[in-house]
Amino acid sequence: MRDLSLNSPVGESSVRVTARRCWRALRVLMHLLGGVLEAIWLRAGRDPHRVVILNAKRRWCLRFLTILGVELRVQGPLRAGPVLLVSNHVSWLDIPVIAAARPCYFLSKAEVAEWPVIGWLARAVGTLFIRRGGGESKAKTEEIRGRLDRGHGILVFPEGTTTDGTGVRRFFPQLFAAAGDDAPVQTVAVRYRDEQGRPDTGIAFIDDDEFHHHLWRLLGRRRIVVELTFGAPLPPDEPRALAREACERIVADLGATVG
């Protein structure tokens, strides 16, 4: 297992937790500003598909995880070249976590594009957006296939929503049609652990959570432990079979249940 460990502050008192939150909040704001300036400097919006942009995004995500005190552990093969990465979905934090381990582009919900600053950055680095329930799956499948044909790695969350991490919802199969012989499906199992090594459901971004409230809670954490397990690429198959096999593999890697 590769340990991309990132040290976090220590301290248990409420005063220390508050101080940690405030200090980290300031660092996050400065880091966001730095990301905007770097994106402008690199003219990311003109062509976000350059290798220099992917590398800059990975560096930015690694620094962001450092600020949050995230300890990132990665195991399994990281396939290079075109690949359709599919993952269970627990939190918005999944995105910088996976991007720090394996440079790729993401398919995100359309609402993220409207988030202040973050939405602009997401668009500037080539994120794809889909409106849930908008009947866009077929068009997005074609767009993803076009990206794969250009040699990109694309990450999608086929559950269509987030969970608390103790279970995995059945995968919607439509987007799996983008995969092919030269761009296989590879699973990514995301698991957050608490200090005792148990599933950490406090990281989940679910129900009526708002981003700024959720981030404020995470800023108070002494550290966050997350494990990514990359599976071997799946052999070609029709979309429903791929979706079922990918879901089963992630469930097995997590030791979770299917909801």
Instruction: Supply the Cα-derived Rg of the chain in whole angstroms.
Output: 18
Give the relative orientation of helices 211-219 and 14-41 as an angle to the nearest 10 degrees.
Answer: 120
Burial of 165 (0-12, 13-18, 19+ CB in 10 A): buried
Domains contained in the chain, number: 1
Domain assignment of residue 9, given as a range: 2-258
β-bridge partners, 193:
199, 225
pLDDT in tens for each of the 259 residues of the chain?
544 444 334 446 889 999 999 999 999 999 999 999 999 999 998 999 999 999 999 999 999 999 999 999 999 999 989 999 999 999 999 999 999 999 999 999 888 888 888 999 999 999 999 987 667 888 999 999 999 999 999 999 999 899 999 999 999 999 999 999 999 999 999 999 988 888 899 999 987 888 989 999 999 999 999 999 999 999 999 999 999 999 999 999 998 777 6
The full DSSP string for 90-103 is --TTHHHHHHHHS-
Say which residues have a Cβ less than 8 Å from residue 36's Cβ, sequence separation at least 6: 117, 120, 121
Q: What is the pTM of this model?
A: 0.91
Q: Of how many residues is the chain composed?
A: 259
